[in-house]
Amino acid sequence: MVDAASARQHCIRLLILHGSHRNPDTVKAPPAENKTMRRANLLGVSTTTAFYMLCGCLGYAAFGNAAPGNMLTGFGFYEPFWLIDFANICIVVHLIGAYQLYCQPIYAAVEKWAAARWPGSDFVVRQYHPFAGGNFSVSMFKLVWRTAFVAVSTVLAILMPFFNAILGLLGALAFWPLTVYFPVEMYKRQSKVERFSKKWVVLQSLSFTCFAVTVAVTVASVQGITQSLNNYVPFKTKL
Protein backbone atom coordinates (compact mmCIF):
# COMPACT_ATOMS: atom_id res chain seq x y z
CA MET A 1 0.00 0.00 0.00
CA VAL A 2 2.89 2.34 0.78
CA ASP A 3 4.45 1.70 -2.64
CA ALA A 4 1.13 2.27 -4.37
CA ALA A 5 0.63 5.51 -2.45
CA SER A 6 4.15 6.59 -3.35
CA ALA A 7 3.31 5.98 -6.99
CA ARG A 8 0.38 8.33 -6.68
CA GLN A 9 2.70 11.02 -5.36
CA HIS A 10 4.51 10.93 -8.69
CA CYS A 11 1.18 11.23 -10.51
CA ILE A 12 0.39 14.40 -8.56
CA ARG A 13 3.79 15.85 -9.39
CA LEU A 14 3.10 15.16 -13.04
CA LEU A 15 -0.20 17.06 -12.90
CA ILE A 16 1.31 19.98 -11.00
CA LEU A 17 4.21 20.31 -13.40
CA HIS A 18 1.90 19.94 -16.37
CA GLY A 19 -0.26 22.77 -15.09
CA SER A 20 2.71 25.02 -14.35
CA HIS A 21 3.87 24.76 -17.94
CA ARG A 22 0.74 26.57 -19.08
CA ASN A 23 2.26 29.79 -17.76
CA PRO A 24 2.31 32.31 -20.65
CA ASP A 25 5.62 33.72 -19.40
CA THR A 26 7.45 30.51 -20.28
CA VAL A 27 10.45 31.10 -22.52
CA LYS A 28 9.37 30.78 -26.16
CA ALA A 29 12.35 28.98 -27.62
CA PRO A 30 12.13 26.60 -30.59
CA PRO A 31 10.92 24.08 -29.58
CA ALA A 32 8.92 25.74 -26.83
CA GLU A 33 10.37 25.06 -23.39
CA ASN A 34 7.01 24.12 -21.91
CA LYS A 35 6.47 21.46 -24.59
CA THR A 36 9.94 20.00 -24.09
CA MET A 37 9.53 19.83 -20.31
CA ARG A 38 6.06 18.35 -20.65
CA ARG A 39 7.44 15.48 -22.71
CA ALA A 40 10.33 14.95 -20.28
CA ASN A 41 8.02 14.94 -17.26
CA LEU A 42 5.56 12.61 -18.95
CA LEU A 43 8.28 10.09 -19.78
CA GLY A 44 10.24 10.30 -16.51
CA VAL A 45 7.35 10.42 -14.05
CA SER A 46 5.31 7.81 -15.92
CA THR A 47 8.26 5.41 -15.84
CA THR A 48 8.80 5.98 -12.11
CA THR A 49 5.09 5.54 -11.41
CA ALA A 50 5.01 2.28 -13.37
CA PHE A 51 7.87 0.81 -11.32
CA TYR A 52 6.24 1.81 -8.04
CA MET A 53 2.94 0.29 -9.11
CA LEU A 54 4.65 -2.93 -10.18
CA CYS A 55 6.30 -3.31 -6.76
CA GLY A 56 3.32 -2.14 -4.73
CA CYS A 57 0.37 -3.71 -6.53
CA LEU A 58 1.71 -6.79 -8.28
CA GLY A 59 3.92 -7.77 -5.33
CA TYR A 60 0.97 -7.65 -2.96
CA ALA A 61 -1.31 -9.40 -5.47
CA ALA A 62 1.20 -12.26 -5.81
CA PHE A 63 2.26 -12.73 -2.18
CA GLY A 64 -0.29 -10.88 -0.05
CA ASN A 65 0.90 -10.07 3.46
CA ALA A 66 3.87 -12.38 2.89
CA ALA A 67 5.33 -9.99 0.31
CA PRO A 68 8.94 -9.28 1.35
CA GLY A 69 10.25 -5.78 1.92
CA ASN A 70 13.03 -6.39 -0.59
CA MET A 71 11.63 -8.01 -3.72
CA LEU A 72 15.12 -8.95 -4.95
CA THR A 73 16.55 -10.65 -1.86
CA GLY A 74 13.49 -11.19 0.33
CA PHE A 75 13.18 -14.82 -0.75
CA GLY A 76 16.74 -15.75 0.16
CA PHE A 77 18.11 -15.63 -3.38
CA TYR A 78 21.08 -13.38 -4.09
CA GLU A 79 21.75 -14.35 -7.69
CA PRO A 80 22.52 -12.91 -10.11
CA PHE A 81 24.84 -10.84 -7.94
CA TRP A 82 25.28 -8.15 -10.58
CA LEU A 83 21.56 -7.36 -10.48
CA ILE A 84 21.58 -6.91 -6.70
CA ASP A 85 24.71 -4.75 -6.86
CA PHE A 86 23.26 -2.64 -9.67
CA ALA A 87 20.04 -2.09 -7.71
CA ASN A 88 22.00 -1.04 -4.62
CA ILE A 89 24.09 1.39 -6.67
CA CYS A 90 20.93 2.95 -8.10
CA ILE A 91 19.53 3.37 -4.58
CA VAL A 92 22.73 5.07 -3.41
CA VAL A 93 22.78 7.46 -6.38
CA HIS A 94 19.12 8.30 -5.86
CA LEU A 95 19.40 8.89 -2.12
CA ILE A 96 22.56 11.01 -2.35
CA GLY A 97 20.78 13.44 -4.64
CA ALA A 98 17.55 13.36 -2.64
CA TYR A 99 19.39 13.88 0.65
CA GLN A 100 21.18 16.94 -0.71
CA LEU A 101 17.98 18.36 -2.16
CA TYR A 102 15.74 17.94 0.87
CA CYS A 103 18.35 19.02 3.42
CA GLN A 104 19.14 22.37 1.80
CA PRO A 105 16.13 24.19 3.36
CA ILE A 106 17.14 22.89 6.81
CA TYR A 107 20.74 23.99 6.30
CA ALA A 108 19.69 27.42 5.06
CA ALA A 109 17.22 28.02 7.91
CA VAL A 110 19.70 27.11 10.66
CA GLU A 111 22.56 29.08 9.09
CA LYS A 112 20.35 32.14 8.62
CA TRP A 113 19.20 31.93 12.24
CA ALA A 114 22.78 31.56 13.50
CA ALA A 115 23.99 34.55 11.45
CA ALA A 116 21.19 36.71 12.90
CA ARG A 117 21.78 35.41 16.43
CA TRP A 118 25.58 35.89 16.45
CA PRO A 119 26.37 38.50 13.76
CA GLY A 120 29.77 39.34 15.26
CA SER A 121 31.08 35.79 15.61
CA ASP A 122 33.91 34.85 13.25
CA PHE A 123 33.00 31.20 13.76
CA VAL A 124 29.56 31.83 12.26
CA VAL A 125 29.96 34.60 9.68
CA ARG A 126 33.58 34.58 8.55
CA GLN A 127 33.96 33.00 5.13
CA TYR A 128 37.00 30.97 4.07
CA HIS A 129 38.07 30.27 0.48
CA PRO A 130 39.72 26.84 0.39
CA PHE A 131 40.42 27.06 -3.34
CA ALA A 132 42.49 29.98 -4.57
CA GLY A 133 40.77 31.98 -7.28
CA GLY A 134 37.47 30.17 -6.85
CA ASN A 135 34.07 31.48 -5.79
CA PHE A 136 33.49 28.66 -3.31
CA SER A 137 33.48 29.80 0.33
CA VAL A 138 32.58 28.14 3.61
CA SER A 139 32.33 29.19 7.25
CA MET A 140 33.48 27.07 10.17
CA PHE A 141 29.93 26.99 11.52
CA LYS A 142 28.61 25.66 8.21
CA LEU A 143 31.31 22.98 8.11
CA VAL A 144 30.72 21.84 11.70
CA TRP A 145 26.93 22.11 11.62
CA ARG A 146 26.41 20.23 8.37
CA THR A 147 28.87 17.52 9.32
CA ALA A 148 27.16 17.04 12.69
CA PHE A 149 23.73 16.95 11.05
CA VAL A 150 24.76 14.23 8.62
CA ALA A 151 26.44 12.21 11.39
CA VAL A 152 23.44 12.41 13.74
CA SER A 153 20.90 11.62 11.01
CA THR A 154 22.99 8.63 9.91
CA VAL A 155 23.16 7.24 13.46
CA LEU A 156 19.41 7.73 13.92
CA ALA A 157 18.75 5.93 10.64
CA ILE A 158 20.91 3.00 11.76
CA LEU A 159 19.11 2.87 15.10
CA MET A 160 15.76 2.47 13.32
CA PRO A 161 15.94 -1.25 12.54
CA PHE A 162 12.51 -1.77 10.98
CA PHE A 163 13.09 -0.33 7.55
CA ASN A 164 9.73 -0.97 5.91
CA ALA A 165 7.67 -0.17 8.99
CA ILE A 166 9.50 3.12 9.60
CA LEU A 167 9.35 3.99 5.90
CA GLY A 168 5.65 3.20 5.84
CA LEU A 169 4.97 5.36 8.89
CA LEU A 170 6.89 8.35 7.55
CA GLY A 171 5.36 7.95 4.11
CA ALA A 172 1.86 7.68 5.54
CA LEU A 173 2.24 10.79 7.68
CA ALA A 174 3.48 12.81 4.70
CA PHE A 175 1.27 11.30 1.99
CA TRP A 176 -2.11 12.90 2.57
CA PRO A 177 -1.19 16.41 3.76
CA LEU A 178 1.67 17.08 1.34
CA THR A 179 0.60 15.08 -1.71
CA VAL A 180 -3.18 15.39 -1.62
CA TYR A 181 -4.65 17.93 0.79
CA PHE A 182 -2.50 21.01 0.12
CA PRO A 183 -2.31 20.57 -3.69
CA VAL A 184 -6.08 20.01 -3.88
CA GLU A 185 -6.84 23.01 -1.69
CA MET A 186 -4.47 25.23 -3.66
CA TYR A 187 -6.06 24.10 -6.92
CA LYS A 188 -9.55 24.85 -5.60
CA ARG A 189 -8.50 28.33 -4.50
CA GLN A 190 -6.62 29.10 -7.70
CA SER A 191 -9.37 27.80 -9.99
CA LYS A 192 -12.12 29.19 -7.73
CA VAL A 193 -14.02 25.91 -7.62
CA GLU A 194 -17.52 26.48 -6.29
CA ARG A 195 -18.57 24.60 -3.18
CA PHE A 196 -20.77 21.55 -3.79
CA SER A 197 -20.18 21.71 -7.53
CA LYS A 198 -19.40 18.48 -9.38
CA LYS A 199 -15.67 19.22 -9.48
CA TRP A 200 -15.67 20.19 -5.79
CA VAL A 201 -17.37 16.91 -4.81
CA VAL A 202 -14.88 14.88 -6.86
CA LEU A 203 -11.89 16.65 -5.29
CA GLN A 204 -13.28 16.28 -1.78
CA SER A 205 -13.98 12.59 -2.39
CA LEU A 206 -10.43 12.10 -3.64
CA SER A 207 -9.02 13.86 -0.58
CA PHE A 208 -11.16 11.82 1.82
CA THR A 209 -10.22 8.53 0.13
CA CYS A 210 -6.51 9.31 0.34
CA PHE A 211 -6.94 10.37 3.97
CA ALA A 212 -8.45 6.95 4.70
CA VAL A 213 -5.43 5.32 3.03
CA THR A 214 -3.12 7.41 5.22
CA VAL A 215 -4.95 6.35 8.39
CA ALA A 216 -4.86 2.66 7.38
CA VAL A 217 -1.16 2.70 6.52
CA THR A 218 -0.32 4.60 9.72
CA VAL A 219 -2.15 2.06 11.88
CA ALA A 220 -0.51 -0.86 10.05
CA SER A 221 2.96 0.69 10.37
CA VAL A 222 2.57 1.34 14.09
CA GLN A 223 1.35 -2.23 14.58
CA GLY A 224 4.34 -3.56 12.63
CA ILE A 225 6.79 -1.47 14.66
CA THR A 226 5.19 -2.65 17.91
CA GLN A 227 5.53 -6.30 16.90
CA SER A 228 9.12 -5.86 15.74
CA LEU A 229 10.16 -4.27 19.05
CA ASN A 230 9.78 -7.67 20.72
CA ASN A 231 13.02 -8.89 19.12
CA TYR A 232 14.75 -5.54 18.60
CA VAL A 233 18.53 -5.65 18.18
CA PRO A 234 20.29 -2.25 17.95
CA PHE A 235 22.18 -1.48 14.73
CA LYS A 236 20.69 -4.50 12.97
CA THR A 237 18.33 -3.51 10.17
CA LYS A 238 15.35 -5.69 9.40
CA LEU A 239 13.26 -5.28 6.26
Q: What is the 3-state secondary structure (H, E, C) of 137-159?
A: CECHHHHHHHHHHHHHHHHHHHH
Provide the pLDDT for residue 4.
52
Under the banding of pLDDT at 50, 70 and 90, the label for residue 227 is: confident
Provide the pLDDT for residue 30.
62
Q: Which of 51-60, 79-88, 138-147 has the lowest mean pLDDT?
A: 51-60
Under the banding of pLDDT at 50, 70 and 90, the label for residue 58 is: confident
AA identity, residue 127: Q
pLDDT, mean over the chain: 79
More confident position, 152 or 224: 152
Nearest Cα neighbor of 122 from 141, 148, 135 is: 141
Region 45-63: mean pLDDT is 80
Provide the pLDDT for residue 28.
56
Task: Give pTM, 2 decimals.
Answer: 0.61
Residue 149 in this model has a pLDDT that exceeds 80: yes
Task: Check: CB of residue 87 under 8 Å from CB of residue 74.
Answer: no
Region 18-38: mean pLDDT is 61
More confident position, 120 or 24: 120
d(CA 54, CA 148): 38
pLDDT by residue (tens digit) across 177-218? Answer: 888 899 899 989 988 889 889 999 999 999 999 999 899 888
Task: Check: CB of residue 72 under 8 Å from CB of residue 87.
Answer: yes
Q: What share of the chain is helix, strand, coil (3-state, %, to 5)?
A: 75, 0, 25
Under the banding of pLDDT at 50, 70 and 90, the label for residue 132 is: confident
Return all residues near 210 (Cβ < 8 A) that are at least 6 apart. 5, 8, 175, 176, 179, 180
Provide the pLDDT for residue 8.
52
Task: Check: CB of residue 97 under 8 Å from CB of residue 112.
Answer: no
